Amino acid sequence: MRLLFLFFLQVSWQLSAAQSDMQALKTNLTPHKIFGRQNPFSRNIRFAGYQTSKIRRTLGSINLFGTINPFNTILRFEKIPFQYKERYRAKDVFRFTLTHDDGVTLTAECSGRLKVREAFTLLGQQDSSFWGEKNEDLFLAVIAPNNDTANKWTFFATNLNATNEKPQKGKLIRKEEELNFELKNLLLKQNVNAQSQDPSFTSMDMVYAFKYHGEIIAAVSVKEADRKFWIKDELNEGIKNVIAAAAVILTIRQNIYRQKTYL
């Protein structure tokens, strides 16, 4: 009898912990669908009253700079290489303008830089850089509301291309103000018109979640299909605008990490 009591007590505790975990992941942000990504002739997007324009990329953003190592292809057994060396640099440099229906305009200058230094030798001492520890994966942008460079925000992020096992995260900084964002799972509303807290209107999504003063206030989808943007309605317009610009950066940036040929 005592064992049965302890069993039910443990089950009850586990259920309570699971409910607490789900509650921690739950948010009350308003969803907005992101339109425009499916059009192959235009990369401009629109959502929540915002519209991008003048998206420009440098020609160098479509190139990888490095050397081809023929031994990566020759020295292999089945799909397993005896050695593998990957050395290259890549970049994604672009700019855009973001306009809201109320007339507010933001401009963003963006630069993603990736330096890959990976090596693997099956018969020798392993180089830890094979797992991406020595890769440099950085992204920097400047967001200026109404071209006011005196009130610009700096966007800084690391590992957005998932080149190693570190978190994909970043910051938005302006003087003493700071917002943080990180890739994570959140329980989010899906129905744009739903005001109910009914769980049927929510689902778990992998998103970049934005925090301000320790509270999750916005999110943007990672997956390409059915992209959405979520935001807390009570935010002041200045914070909303810079988060919208950051969401655009995370949506239209390119993944510049080349997939390994032996996988």
Token pair recorded at residue 233:
């309605």
Q: Which of 135, 137, 90, 141 is nearest to 111 (CA)?
A: 141
Give the pLDDT of residue 69.
Answer: 75
**Alpha-carbon distance 259 to 209, whole Å?**
26
Give the pLDDT of residue 22.
Answer: 40
Give the pLDDT of residue 91.
Answer: 93
Angle at 184 between CA 182 and CA 186, to 5 degrees: 125
Amino acid, single-letter form, for residue 62: I
Give the pLDDT of residue 55.
Answer: 92
Give the pLDDT of residue 23.
Answer: 43
Give pLDDT tens digits along the chain (263 positions).
Answer: 555 544 444 544 444 433 444 444 456 899 999 998 665 556 799 999 999 999 999 887 866 677 777 777 666 766 677 777 888 899 999 999 999 999 999 999 999 999 988 887 777 777 777 778 889 999 999 999 988 878 899 999 999 999 988 999 999 999 989 999 999 999 998 876 545 455 456 788 999 999 999 999 999 999 888 899 999 999 999 999 999 999 999 999 988 887 554 43
Give the pLDDT of residue 177.
Answer: 94
Give the pLDDT of residue 40.
Answer: 55
Q: Where are the chain's structural domains? A: 29-252
Give the pLDDT of residue 148.
Answer: 83
**Alpha-carbon distance 198 to 189, whole Å?**
9
Q: Which of 61, 58, 60, 153 is nearest to 98 (CA)?
A: 153
Give 156's contacts (C-beta < 8 A, 6+ positions apart).
Answer: 138, 139, 140, 141, 170, 171, 173
Contact 221, 28 (CB under 8 A): no
Give the pLDDT of residue 241.
Answer: 97
Q: Outline where the chain has alpha helix (H).
A: 2-25, 71-74, 237-252
**Alpha-carbon distance 259 to 254, whole Å?**
14
Give the pLDDT of residue 236.
Answer: 93
Give the pLDDT of residue 193.
Answer: 57
Give the pLDDT of residue 125.
Answer: 73
pTM: 0.82
Give 127's contacts (C-beta < 8 A, 6+ positions apart).
Answer: 118, 119, 120, 121
